Copies of this chain bind each other. A is one copy, B any other.
Amino acid sequence: MVKNNVGRDIPQEHADQYGVYDDLFTNVKPYKEASRDLKPVKPTDTKLLGSIREAIEKTGLKDGMTISFHHHFREGDFVINMVMEEIAKMGIKNLSIAPSSIANVHEPLIEHIKNGVITNITSSGLRDKLGAAISDGIMENPVVIRSHGGRARAIAAGDIHIDVAFLGAPSSDAYGNANGTVGKAVCGSLGYAMIDAKYADQVVIITDTLVSYPNSPISIPQTDVDYVVEVDAIGDPSGIAKGATRFTTNPKELLIAEYANKVITQSPYYKNGFSVQTGTGGAALAVARFLRDSMIKDDVKAAFALGGITNQMVELLEDGLVEKLIDVQDFDALSGQSLGRNENHIEVDANFYASPLSKGSAINQLDICILSALEVDTDYNVNVMTGSDGVIRGASGGHSDTSAASKMSLVISPLVRGRIPTVVDSVNTVITPGASVDVVVTEIGVAINPARQDLIEHFTTLDIPQYTIEELKEKAYAIVGNPEPIQYGDKVVALIEYRDGTLIDVVRNV
């Protein structure tokens, strides 16, 4: 075992392979970017194939290769299941899959794991039954959990080498120019897919809306695409929009949001030209609403809002409260449509959004980010991955990326959830190291990370109760009692990569 810098024990073999987490930026070093094996396409070649099966055959996909998908269709995605079903029928085994994330709808992956079709997974998240099965120890090899920026990093650095990317596209021409703003199943930005398209040896575009050449706007260019397949349907629009959450009416969440907004608007960063990423949870959307009111009242305008975009952000843009949206992912139909329509709504890839190994990602320019938590501990470490029962059910997302890069990161969370404390001695799983978390906001008040003395000094006049993080924990424990320790097994079922590629934690079976 090797103990890393957030005190987690990493088994030697994994520590040797990945290295262990040290600090936020010590592993951000010059490197040689990965490159792809490329088959040039001649004037007489055609890319349009008759079926997914034909595409799989043409790519020469075989046992042991790595394939990838994107998660822009979320719970409405048909692509992963369609492609995997065909691959399984063809008898191909021992594949590594590297989707940008996995949704509940991908439960059929469990069978493919059991049948040996899939033997390795890397993903931002694992939900529901697949998460439970992984936590139960269904796989021989641990899943590798990567943040959105960390996945872009891993691809650019060659840690993930994608042999074939199967990318669903709401529209494409027969030469592979694809976007997410036109078609039957509009998802908006294709930011996560764009990275796969750039680095994968071979790329198959799967679309249900084949348009004449040249399709535009061009999110994924023909120069990144080998084959195009038209299918009846790539996704269910109602499932695609499931990423969005409505405004909360929960009084506790509203209070958290109000406090978070006070932290933002009383911070040194709140001024004309500031920038913010709000996230998509109920409380986060409520923060956006309070912030909107404050910006109008104070006549403050933001230069940009970033990240997963919701209709609330689009309204800020359209009302002139935010100058530009930088969009790696859209969470509802309206934001997807805005991307296709509004020139100040800018589509970017995951590398541009959040990679620590890029020549500067957008989050490096970010003033304020609002993040959720399943747990936060007295070292300010945050868990957004495993539940209070130790079972994997979350997603790393952009959490550790934005918290590290932004000037002020707010973790918003109720002090307790039901009978479970949120502020704890030690989180079950560290996704985001406390070194990158600045302020924890609960419904009873805030705790400011002592590492941010500048903020502590600035916020002496903040009109919200302030506590130490230990005091918040004590209050949580006072309400619901000390949490019972989880009884983990010995098997490592998931490796948690920090965004720089080192291991910040592992998850064991339960």
State the A residues within 8 Å of B (CB).
25, 28-43, 45, 47, 156, 175-176, 203, 212-214, 216-218, 221-226, 273, 303-304, 323-324, 326, 343-344, 346, 348, 351-352, 355-365, 404-406
Contacts and interface: CB of A to CB of B under 8 A. Distances in A.
Contacts of A324: 214, 216
Nearest to A173: B365
A217 to B, nearest CB: 7
A38 B359 contact: yes
B38 A25 contact: no
A401 B203 CA distance: 25
B28 A38 contact: no
22 contacts: A34-B35, A38-B359, A40-B357, A41-B360, A42-B356, A43-B363, A43-B405, A45-B360, A47-B360, A175-B364, A176-B360, A212-B303, A212-B323, A213-B304, A214-B304, A216-B344, A217-B346, A221-B348, A222-B359, A223-B361, A224-B359, A225-B360
Contacts of A34: 35
Contact of A358 (B40, B343, B346, B365): B40
A303 B41 CA distance: 21
B222 A352 contact: yes
A41 B360 CA distance: 5
Nearest to A225: B359
B32 A33 contact: no
A25 B39 contact: no
Given A33-B36, A213-B303, 15 more contacts: A25-B42, A28-B40, A32-B36, A32-B37, A32-B38, A33-B35, A38-B156, A39-B359, A42-B364, A43-B404, A47-B360, A216-B324, A216-B343, A222-B352, A222-B360
Nearest to A364: B43
